[in-house]
């Protein structure tokens, strides 16, 4: 079968079917927004479309870069399979003036996550070592409602633990895990109870954490939220 021509829409299959739809869409946005502006992410509740999704980019160059770069990417313990969609998504068809109403439509979700989403309470995982100590220290030293100014954080000597600030309200453990698991030596993400704007990420060595820091510092999980990454205070 001939491969479909380049398209603004990327078709993704072999996704983990156990992941909730909201979490899946947020995580897909987190890892694909690095390639360009995303107009829509499309999933479905039907059994036939389980484990599949469509990511719609504003331009074809971004879609092509995503297909090339993310083919086989490990995502929630499964390797993603990517291809160009065979037809235009609704948002692209409407832009071209070729849209025709379908009898059955996939559920769509606007990917710009809203800060109005209700925040779920998170219990701190019991743990030992520097990461748990850093999270506990931060909790006791700062107010749960006080935002942190990323520019006010002093640089620390390189170590295996990264401190993330300026995260959007939609941030969660699963999303950050997907984002950092692509780097060698990743160990875990630790959220701070009562906070969604900050988190810690631990690696096996400071060399591995430095590589992740240099690669993702300034990455926007959402527009207007460039992630600030520094080494954690030990």
Q: Is residue 227 part of a domain?
A: yes
pLDDT tens digits for range 87-104 = 999 999 999 999 888 765
pTM recorded for the entire structure: 0.59
pLDDT tens digits for range 141-173 = 444 446 666 666 777 899 999 999 999 888 889
d(CA 6, CA 210): 36
Q: Is residue 59 part of a domain?
A: yes
Domain boundary among 96, 112, 145: 96
Q: Is residue 15 part of a domain?
A: yes
Give the E-state strand segments of the chain in sequence order. 9-13, 38-42, 53-57, 74-75, 78-79, 81-84, 108-109, 161-165, 186-191, 199-203, 228-231
pLDDT of residue 158: 94
pLDDT of residue 59: 95
Look up the CATH number of the domain holding residue 40.
3.30.70.330
Say how many domains are in the chain: 2
Q: Is residue 153 part of a domain?
A: no
Domain boundary among 96, 111, 129: 96
**Low pLDDT (below 50) residues in the chain:** 106-128, 141-145
Q: Is residue 211 part of a domain?
A: yes
Domain residue limits at 207: 161-231
Q: Is residue 128 part of a domain?
A: no
Percent of the chain with pLDDT over 70: 78
């Amino acid at each position: 079968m001939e491969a479909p021509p380049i398209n603004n829409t990327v078709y993704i299959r072999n996704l983990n079917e156990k992941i909730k739809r909201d979490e899946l869409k947020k995580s897909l946005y987190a890892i694909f927004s690095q390639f360009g502006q995303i107009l829509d992410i499309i999933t479905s509740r039907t059994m036939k479309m389980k484990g599949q999704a469509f990511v719609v980019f504003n331009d074809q160059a971004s879609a092509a870069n995503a297909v090339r770069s993310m083919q086989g990417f490990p995502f929630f313990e499964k390797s993603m399979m990517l291809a160009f969609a065979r037809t235009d998504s609704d948002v692209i068809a409407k832009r071209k003036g070729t849209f025709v109403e379908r009898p059955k439509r996939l559920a769509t979700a606007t990917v710009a996550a809203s800060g109005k989403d209700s925040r779920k309470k998170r219990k701190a995982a019991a743990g030992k070592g520097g990461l748990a100590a850093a999270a506990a220290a931060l909790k006791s030293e700062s107010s749960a409602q006080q935002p942190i100014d990323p520019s006010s954080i002093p640089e620390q000597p390189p170590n295996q633990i990264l401190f993330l600030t300026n995260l959007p309200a939609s941030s969660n453990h699963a999303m950050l895990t997907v984002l950092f698991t692509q780097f060698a030596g990743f160990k875990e993400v630790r959220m701070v109870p009562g906070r969604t704007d900050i988190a810690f990420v631990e690696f096996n060595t400071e060399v591995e954490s430095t590589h992740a820091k240099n690669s993702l510092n300034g990455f926007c999980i959402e527009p207007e939220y460039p992630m600030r990454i520094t080494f954690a205070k030990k």
